[in-house]
Structure 1
C-alpha cells in the first residue's frame, strides 16, 4: 500500500519533457514531415512576396520637378565628342584623365587624381576575412608597370557642412574604351555639371571616373581604401610623383597644385554606380538592370532600391529588371509547381479571402527565377558589381546598367535617353540629399523576387527553421540508444527518467561518446588542412586548373589516411553508428547556426543538401529490414551522398544558373579559387561544415553495423 501511495504521489514530468520524448520516439516521421514542410515552404516563397514600399518618409522621391534639361543633354553630347576625340589619340588613358579633369575644373569643382596598381589576388589563409583592399606598392622611378588613374571631382554642398557626401561612379576602360562607356561618362559629367550649380545640395557630391582596365571593382576598391585608410609618407615629393603621378598626368598652371593631393569629402551616405550597356535590338522601351548583392550576402537598405525603382518606372518610363536564372524561366517542372500552387491558392482564397496565395503562373515562374538568382548570388558571397566595395565600408550602394534600345547614331533617341537617365540620377541624389541620417528604416535582410517585390527575413527564415527543427530531436533519439517507443510513465516506473547520466553510466556511454568526439575531431582537423592546401598549390608555377585539382585531391586522400593511421579509423575504434550519426548531426547544427549569422543564403542552400543527407543516412548493411525498404534506403542514401559531394553540388549550381550541365574537376578548382580570391565565407562553409558532414555520412553508410557486446549479452 505504501509503495502504491508513493507511486501516486510521484510528480509527473512536465509537458515539454513528455513532448520531447514523444517526438524522439517518432523521430523518423517527425524528420520526414519537417523536411517536406521546409521544402514546400521554400517553394511557397514567391507566393508570399510583398510589394516594396518606402519606410523613410524623408526620401519623398519625385516630389520636386527635375532640373536636368535638354541643355544638359547638349552638354553631354559636347563632352562625348570631346572625349571621343581624345580617346582616339590617348596612350595609356592619361589624356582621357586629363580631359575629364579639365572639364571638372572648368565647372569650378575640386578635382584630383588617384593612381593605383592592380590588386594581386592570391589565397592567404591569415587574411581571409579582410576586404579586397588594393595593396599599393610604390614603384621606383622609371617603372614600366602599368597603373590605373581614377579622376575624382568634388562639389561642395552650398547648404551643407561637409560632413556627408553622395558618390556617383562611372566606370570606363581607359585602354579599350567603347562607345557605350563614352556615353556613360557623358551622362555622369552632365549630371555632375548640373549638381555643381544646384543650390539645394546639403551633401557633397563626389563623381568618380573609375579606370576599370583592371576591373571595375578593383578601381573602386582602391579608391575607397585610400579614402578611408590614408597613406602618409615621409617625403611629399615621393607621394606626388610616385603614388599619384601628378607630374606625369597634368601640365597645368601653378594654380593647379591641388591636383597633387588626394581630396576627400564627408562620410558617404550612399553611392550610385551607373553605366550604359550594349544596345539591345529588341524591346519596347529602355531598361535598367539593378545589381545589389555585395560580399557574403550583404544587401543595401531596401529603401534605396525602392527609390530607384519608383523614379525609373513612374517618372522616367524605364523598365527595371533584376537578374534571373534564365534556365528556370523555361522550366516545365517549375511551371507544373506554379499551376499546383495557383490551384491550391484559389481554393484557399474561397475559404478565406485574406489568404492571397493564388499567384498567376507566369508571375510565379518569373518570381522563382529571380528568387533563385538572388539566393544564389547572396550564397556565393561575391559582389555582383563594384557596389560591393562600398558595402565593405557599410555604405549603401547599387549598380545600375542601362540597356538602351536605340542605335548609337540616332541623335534624337540618344538625347532623349540622356534626358531620362540624367533625371533619374538627379532624382536619386535629391532623395538621398533629403536624409538627415543614414538609411536604417527599411530592411537589410531580404530576397528579391521582382524589382518591386521582396521577401523579408521573417518569412524566408521559416523554411530554414523547419529544416533545422528535427536535428536536436534526432540527435537525442540516437544518443539515447534505447527503445524510444516507451512512454514517459514506463520510463518513470523503470527509474530511468532521471536524465542522460544514467544512460551513459549504465551502458558505458561516456567512453563511446569520447570515441565519437575523437572521430569528429579527426575529420574536422582533416577539413581544416584540406582548406589550407590551395595556399601551397598556388605556389606551383604554370599549373593548370585540372592539375591543381588533381594534386588537391591526392593530397587530401593522403592526409586523411595519415590521420587515420595516427588516431585510428572510426571502425577500429568500435564507435556505434548511432553515436557517430548523433555527433555528426550536432556538428551540423552548430555549423549551420553559425553560417546563418554570417551568410543566411549559404546556410539555407546548405541545409537543403546537408540536413536530408544527415537525417536519413543509415548503414547500408543494416539488418532487420525487408527487401523493398532496404532497396529504397540504399538508392536514396547513395543518391543523396552523390549529390552532396561538393563537385557534384557545383555541377548542379552551374546547370541551374548557366544552363550548362557539363564540367570537370578543373572547374571545381576554378570555382574554389574564385571564392577564396573574394574572401567568400562560402569557401569556409564548404570545407569546414559541408565536407566533414559528407565524409561522416559516408562513414555511416559504410559502417559494418556490428551489434554491440552489451546488446549480445542482454539477448543471451
Structure 2
C-alpha cells in the first residue's frame, strides 16, 4: 500500500517535471521568436520614459532637507552705504580690468589688505601665459578655523565680457562681512584669472595637489570648504533675472540643498526672477504644454553639459573635491520695470551666506543625483534610472540558420570550439589595445604642456588615430581568414575562423556593461551612448550580401568618433581643430573623462562591430 503511494508520487513528480520543462522550452522559443520586436519596443519605451520626465506629474517639487539652513529667515544689512561702495569699486575696476594680470591682481590684493584680511597672490602657468589669482581669508571671530565658505568671482564672464559687477559686489560684501561678528565659518574671497585654469590652479594648490611653487608654499589656508558661490555679473548695467549654473566635471552635481537655498532666498528675500542656466526664453508660454517644453529644454541643456563632462561654470571645478558649488549669473534684459542692481544682488548673497553659516555639518541630507527641470522641480535617481536598465539589457543575437534539428544544433553549439570564443575574445582585445594606443597618441603633449597653438598637431594626431583604427579593423578581418581546399574539385577559397554570433554577443555584453556602469557616474553620458548604439548594434549582423555589408559599414562609420566629429562639424560649422582643442583642454585642465571614455570604451566596440559585418 505504502509502496504504491510512493510510486504514484514519483510518477506524478516526473510527469510534472517533464511538463514544466516543455513549458519552459515553449516560453524560450516564443521569446526567441519575438526578440527583435520586443527589443525595439523596449528601446522606444525607454526613450518615451525620458521624455515623460519633464511632465509635471512625473517629477517633484524641491524642498529643503537640511533644517539648520533656515533660508530667508534672517535680517539682512546690505544697505545704501554698501551699494555706494560697490559702485565705487565698479568705477575703479573699469580702470584696472584691461591691465596686465599682475597689475590688476595687485589692486585686488591691496584692497583685501586694507580691510585687514590675510591675503596673497597665486601665480600659475597657462597656455596664454602666466595667470595671477588674488584671494583673502576672513577669520571668523566665532570660528575655530575648521570650516570655511568661498565667495569667488572670475575676471572674465562666461559671456566674454569683464566681470565688473561681480568683482565689485564681492569687494563690497567683503567689507560687510568684516564689520559683522556673527560668522561661525571662515570666508575665503577669491578673484580668479584666466578662466577655468585659474580656478583649477587655486583649488589644486589649496588641497596640496598642484604644482609646487612659491605661491603654493606661502598660501593662506582655512578649514574644510563647505560651500562655494561663484559670481558672474558681466558689465556695469543692471539685470533682468538670475541664472544658476550647477553642472560639474564628468556629470557631477552639487547637493540639491545648496540650489534650494538660493532659490528660496531669491523667492522670499531678494524677490528676483530666477531660471536655470541663462535661458530666459519661454517657448509656447501661452500654450498648455508651455511648462513641459521649458522643462524639457532645461533637462536637455543639463544632459548636454553632463554628457560632455564639461563644467557649466567655474564653480563646477570644486565638485571634484566634493565641495558643493554653484554659479549665480546675471542675465540682461530689456524690461526696464524688472531690472535690479547691487541692492538685490547684495541681499541675495548676504542671506545665502547667512544660511550657509548655519550649517552644522557638510551637505548630506538632500540629493546628489537628480535632474533639475526648473528651479523648483526635480527628478530623483529612482525615477530616471529605469530607462538605462532597459537600454543596457537589450541583447539580441540572430537565431541560427542551420537546418539541423534543434538537438543537434544545441549539441554543436555547446562546445567553446564551435563558438570560437577565443577568436572573438582576441578581436575584443586587439580593438581595445588600439583604443589605448589612440588614447596615448591623443593625450601626448610636450614637456611645456598643451598650448592652443598646437591645433595642427592635434589634427595630425587625430588623423593618425583614425589610421590606427582603420588598420586594426582591416588587419583583424584578414587575420581571421585562411586558405581552405575542399577535396572534391581542388579549388581554394577563403573562409573565416571567427564566429559572428559570438563576436556580436561579446560586443553587446560589453556595451551593456559600459552603459549600466557609467550610468551610476554620469547618467547623461550613458543615455547618449545608449541612444547612439543600442538599436544599431542590436540589428547589425554578418551577411553574405555585399550591399548589406556596405550599408552596415556606413552606419557604423557614422556612429564612430570620426563620423560623429564630422557630423558635429557639419551642424555647428566649427573647425575640427576647435573641437579637438576643446576635448584636450577638458582632459588636461579640468580632468574630464570624455577622451578616455571615447578611446578605450566607445571606439573599440565600434571597431569590433565593423569587423563583424565583414566576416
TM-score (norm 1): 0.72
Deviations 1:392-444 (A, max 9, x none): 1110011122124489xx9x999x61111111111111111111011111111
- Does the CA-based 8 Å contact 1:280-1:403 persist in structure 2? no
**2:425 aligned residue:** 517
- Does the CA-based 8 Å contact 2:39-2:394 persist in structure 1? yes
- Does the CA-based 8 Å contact 1:300-1:397 persist in structure 2? yes
Aligned-pair CA distance for 1:99: 3.2
**2:375 aligned residue:** 451
Match of 1:203 among 163, 185, 193: 185
User: Is 2:600 the counterpart of 1:646?
Assistant: no
- Does the CA-based 8 Å contact 1:166-1:269 persist in structure 2? yes
Match of 2:137 among 154, 161, 165: 154
C-alpha change, 1:557 and 1:665, in structure 2 (3 Å) is farther
Deviations 1:276-301 (A, max 9, x none): 124789xxx62122111111110101
- Does the CA-based 8 Å contact 1:280-1:406 persist in structure 2? no
Aligned-pair CA distance for 1:6: 8.2
Aligned-pair CA distance for 1:114: 2.1
Indicate the RMSD between aligned Cα atoms, in angstroms. Answer: 4.2
Q: Secondary structure at the residue paired with 1:543?
A: helix
C-alpha change, 1:676 and 1:453, in structure 2 (3 Å) is same
Aligned-pair CA distance for 1:161: 1.4
Aligned-pair CA distance for 1:179: 8.3
Task: Out of 75-84 and 158-167, give the one that drifted further.
Answer: 75-84
- Does the CA-based 8 Å contact 2:480-2:497 persist in structure 1? no
1:124-135 equivalences under 5 Å are none
Gaps of 5+ in 1: 121-145, 234-238, 246-259, 340-358, 624-630, 704-716
Q: Secondary structure at the residue paired with 2:456?
A: coil
Q: Secondary structure at the residue paired with 1:447?
A: strand
**1:343 aligned residue:** none
**2:47 aligned residue:** 39
Quote the Cα distance in structure 2 between the aligned partners of 1:264 and 1:508.
Answer: 62
Match of 1:217 among 193, 196, 200: 196
Quote the Cα distance in structure 1 between the aligned partners of 2:389 and 2:210.
Answer: 47
Aligned-pair CA distance for 1:264: 0.8
C-alpha change, 1:690 and 1:96, in structure 2 (3 Å) is closer
C-alpha change, 1:567 and 1:286, in structure 2 (3 Å) is same
Gaps of 5+ in 2: 1-6, 448-452, 484-493
User: Is 2:500 the counterpart of 1:581?
Assistant: no
User: Is 2:591 the counterpart of 1:591?
Assistant: no
- Does the CA-based 8 Å contact 1:61-1:431 persist in structure 2? yes
User: Is 2:205 the counterpart of 1:226?
Assistant: yes
- Does the CA-based 8 Å contact 1:279-1:404 persist in structure 2? no
Quote the Cα distance in structure 1 between the aligned partners of 2:436 and 2:160.
Answer: 45
**2:90 aligned residue:** 80
Q: Secondary structure at the residue paired with 2:242?
A: strand
Quote the Cα distance in structure 1 between the aligned partners of 2:423 and 2:210.
Answer: 53
C-alpha change, 1:104 and 1:573, in structure 2 (3 Å) is same
**1:526 aligned residue:** 434
1:60-459 equivalences under 5 Å are 60-85=70-95, 92-118=100-126, 147-172=130-155, 180-210=162-192, 212=193, 215-229=194-208, 243-244=214-215, 261-278=218-235, 286-323=240-277, 360-405=288-333, 417-459=341-383
C-alpha change, 1:531 and 1:20, in structure 2 (3 Å) is farther
**2:608 aligned residue:** 696
Task: Out of 267-276 and 567-576, give the one that drifted further.
Answer: 567-576
Q: Secondary structure at the residue paired with 2:135?
A: strand
Aligned-pair CA distance for 1:455: 1.9
Quote the Cα distance in structure 2 between the aligned partners of 1:17 and 1:280.
Answer: 74
- Does the CA-based 8 Å contact 2:458-2:580 persist in structure 1? yes
Q: Which has the higher contact order (CA 8 A, sep 6+)?
A: 1
C-alpha change, 1:537 and 1:155, in structure 2 (3 Å) is closer
Q: Secondary structure at the residue paired with 1:591?
A: helix
C-alpha change, 1:311 and 1:550, in structure 2 (3 Å) is same
Deviations 1:227-286 (A, max 9, x none): 1117898xxxxx7xxx249xxxxxxxxxxxxxx9421111100011102124789xxx62
- Does the CA-based 8 Å contact 1:279-1:403 persist in structure 2? no
- Does the CA-based 8 Å contact 1:324-1:371 persist in structure 2? no
Deviations 1:332-360 (A, max 9, x none): xxx9xx99xxxxxxxxxxxxxxxxxxx93
